[in-house]
Structure 1
Amino acid sequence: MKKTLLLTGTLIGSLLAGHAASAAGYTVQKGDTLWKIARKYDTTVDRLKQQNGLSSDLIFPGQVLQVNGQSESRQAVSNTYTIQSGDTLSGIARKFGTSVEALLKLNPSIADPDFIRVGQAIQVAGGTTDKRTYTVQPAAAAVNGQYIVQKGDTLSGIAKKFQISIDRLLSLNPQIANPNVIRVGQAIKVAGGTTDVQQAERQASVAQPVVAESSASLADRIIEIGEKYLGARYLYGASPSRTDVFDCSSFTMRVFSEAGISLPRSSAAQAQAGRAVSFNQLQKGDLVFFDTDSNGTINHVGIYAGNGQMINATVSLGVTYSSLTSSYWKTRYVKAVRVLN
């Protein structure tokens, strides 16, 4: 009888301890930052601060943070990995401790390392893949003018929910490079003051270039400005104020702004600026646009540099030159616009 009671007590104690650990959330470790924790649990710093009532980014070792009840599970697989939403080839290479070049050798079907498809199975030469399951708290209302993207959300759905236009949402959220791509847990601004809206509207209009400078010399200067960023890394949603990392439209926006020309933030919005020109009429400094997902939506932009080349920010190579006559870009080309007089 004594042995039975002892075992039962031990079992109950173990269960209680396990439950306490599960309910405690995440315990801050030495060297942790909110950004590192947010990245680990695929959420945002703002979301963590809201969940834990934090008024600043200051945290300390031993502090327990709620992380939205997210759980991670690692599942061993064979030598293949199925591409998930938000994946890049460079990110997959890092996950499996390999290189982009090695992945391309294993997967000759990948014609362009910058573009892979969700659901596509690729060879990764073994290892384990990180399959994560998240439980996201519903957030039907905006908190402090922000809405946290939920599973199944679309930008048009969010616009309808808050009785706002998609253009207004894009104006309030210049970090959204592609209106068709938003992430679960992403914080989106759905309300702003008059100053914010006016500033966004001014940004969305194309300013006149410097009158004293000819279009040809201005185009050359734009290419020179773009070339000084060659090799800069790619970061989706990069702030236009950053010059160490870019996405495709923050790059074009930055280059043209340094030449005195204001462009909208997203590639889709930039495609509406200036006047359309045909492929055969391309000149240096023209913006060229592509539909890389083949879904009828523009999601990539580059700057034509002459001789069939464009300078652009790509996922795996960062800011680089690409050939418009390559089979990849040629088949995904949509249009070109000229914003230089």
Structure 2
Amino acid sequence: MVIAGALLSSLFVGEGVSAAEYTVKSGDSLWEISNNFKVSVSEIKTQNKLTSDTIYVGQVLQIADSKPSTNETSNQKYTVKSGDSLSSIAKKYNTTTTNLLSLNPQISNPNLIKVGQVVNVPNGTTGSVTPSKPSVDKTREQVANAIIESGKKYLGAPYQYGASPNQTTTFDCSSFTQRVFSENGIKLPRTSTEQSKIGTTIPLSEAKKGDLLFFATDNNGVINHVSIYVDSSTVLHAATSKGVSIADTKAYWMPRFVKAVRVFN
């Protein structure tokens, strides 16, 4: 079986222990590889005698007891109809847009799906019953709080432009958001520009904890910074001057605001 075009072969390591060889590709991290194979990062590091989280393109890793993920047995197909949106399909199958995006990595822009397009959806019957509003709010609040707490544990980490997403000693703005969201099961692209193109664009007045805010620090409308919304006057981000920190948005950041995006519901 080929995983993301990079699984080379299966082999056996010791009696009764199956393993696989995986070749690292651009954009990979130990976190993502461990999720794909349903093993822990520490197991991969031990298996390959790694002393840090740093991996490089072309590196061959041995993955013991690998169980690469597959959607084929747990999902069904849905053909997009006129008037459909990713959020309406999510409601139809009692799931979230974030889950649909994880099941359909071929969708690069969740706001652009076409009539006749076939997408993966969770197995099970559709229904009109949806969770009550308090349950939805509580679930989202729990996820948002977990994201903020994940980010806070890196407070003080210095800023480094182009920081590797495979390590947590330094960050740039988008490697920080990518890391924090991935620790809570949400996959983001690598750059602030790419991150601004996923999810649902919302008015700033409707922003909630855990949403992403995008800025143009050059005051030219071109996005080059991303932060995590905490409240109406506060964001959590990796800033060039202070590294990972909590910032007051009113003085410097709001005049440079471009858009707000919600990537989970």
TM-score (norm 2): 0.49
Q: Which has the higher helix share?
A: 1
TM-score (norm 1): 0.39
Give the greater-gyration-radius structure (CA): 1
Relative contact order (C-alpha < 8 Å, sep 6+): which is higher? 2
